[in-house]
Amino acid sequence: MSLDMSPDGIIDKKQGVDLDYEFDFSSGLSTGESITSFTLRIPSGLGVGGAGVGAASNTTSAVQFAVSGGTVGINYQLVCNIVTDNSGPRKNEKVMTIKCIK
């Protein structure tokens, strides 16, 4: 998945465009370990899913979702928490910043 990223690591999202995003946890998983559940924290002003936009889902090593909405000039911080099937189980968190642009 190719994303437009600014030099400061913020992902640019054009206003009015619904795009797919992904939190990839593969580098932090052991061989054979899989994501069993996840939660996404999406700030007010952005939506996940909706008319014509797919709902969030996960593979064994990543969480995929589509984002809609946003106000030009605002940075939105999205947080994804996962739980794995490793004995324990293990938990992990990743953060992504999306800036809405014209």
Name the band, by pLDDT with cuts 50, 70 and 90, for residue 88.
confident
Tell me the C-alpha distance between 40 and 11, whole Å. Answer: 17
Predicted TM-score (pTM) of the model is 0.83
What is the average per-residue pLDDT within 74-81?
94
Report the pLDDT value the prediction gives residue 49, as an integer from 0 to 100: 66
Tell me the C-alpha distance between 94 and 11, whole Å. Answer: 14
**Residue recorded with tokens 């709902």:** 55
**What CATH number should be reported for the domain whose range is 11-101?**
2.60.40.10
**Residue recorded with tokens 């293990």:** 90
Tell me the C-alpha distance between 11 and 96, whole Å. Answer: 8
**Residue 83 C-beta-side C-alpha neighbours within 13 Å:** 7
pLDDT of 28 > 50? The answer is yes
Domain definitions of the chain by residue range: 11-101
